[in-house]
Each structure stands twice: as C-alpha cells, then as structure tokens.
Structure 1
Amino acid sequence: MTKDEKFVDKFMRATDKFQKVFGPAEQGDMDAPVVHRHDEFEDESDLELSQVEQRTDSEGHHYAVRKSDEDEAEA
C-alpha cells in the first residue's frame, strides 16, 4: 500500500464518521427551478448591464462597449 492510498483510506474513514454524526449531505432537488430574488441590487445590475453591448472582433475575442460611448463615437 502506498502513502497516498493510506491517506485516502484515512480520509474515507473520517468522512464515514462525519456522516454518522451529521447525516448524509443534502444536495437539494436538482430539477427545481432557480429562484431569483428581484431585489434592489439585482435591479441596479440589470440597469447597468442594459447600457453595455457585447461584441466580438475578427479573431473571436469578446469585449463590451457602453452604449453611451458608442453614441458619442458616432457623433
């Protein structure tokens, strides 16, 4: 048995003991929809992101441009 195998065996025994004390890990319902809280912070983020447009250059790099900066450049 190598040194790594001993560590893994010790680790697995420790996790078995934790499970007996604390119970199995809860993973939740993976099929449940994600609930978004529409709070003040999220509203501010949505407003800020609405002012940004994502672009891709000829080499495939993505970058963002503020819509107000774009309007000034056209003028």
Structure 2
Amino acid sequence: MSHDEPFVEKFMKATGKFSHVFGQADRADSDIPVNHKHDDFEKASEEDLAQFETEIGSNGEHYAVRKDGTGN
C-alpha cells in the first residue's frame, strides 16, 4: 500500500482481503421477525424489565426509573 493512499482506500482494500479469507459478512433478512425462545432467561429478563418505567427528560432524553421510585 502506498503511504499517500487515503485511509478509506486502505481500509476498503484490507476488508476486501479479509472477505476472501473469512467470507462475506452475514446479512440477515431484516424482514424476518425475531424468533423468541420464551426460555427461562427471557422470562427472567422480562420480569426484571417490568420493574422499570421509561421517563422522558426536558431535553428529550429517555431514561429508566424503577416503579417503586427509589431509582436504585
């Protein structure tokens, strides 16, 4: 690679070489719905997240607050 070659061109050449070694990037179909397993881990996550409410600040930022009001 030439030293006067722009970074983007160097990067694109490098990723092209990587794709020959590792194959193309995985591009899943975004139209296919997510398959939820409904296993114990997912159930525990849903129960944990149910303890929070989403608040919107004066600047439009979103943050989570515990429903019991402690914020802990």
Aligned residue for 1:45? Answer: 45
**What is the number of equivalent residue pairs in this alignment?**
65
Q: Distance in 2 between matches of 1:27 and 1:9?
A: 23
Identify unmatched segments of 5+ residues in structure 2. Answer: none
The percentage of counterpart residues that share the same residue type is 44
TM-score w.r.t. the length of structure 2 is: 0.55
Aligned residue for 2:15? Answer: 15
Q: Where does 1:1-75 land on structure 2 (aligned, <5 Å)?
A: 5=6, 7-52=7-52, 64=65, 66=67, 69=68
Kindly name which structure, 1 or 2, has the bigger radius of gyration based on alpha carbons: 1
Q: Distance in 2 between matches of 1:16 and 1:63?
A: 42
- Code of the aligned partner of 1:19: S
Identify unmatched segments of 5+ residues in structure 1. Answer: 71-75
TM-score w.r.t. the length of structure 1 is: 0.53
Specify which structure has the higher proportion of helix: 1
Q: RMSD of the TM alignment (CA)? A: 3.0
Contact 2:54 2:65 (C-alpha < 8 Å) held by counterparts:
yes
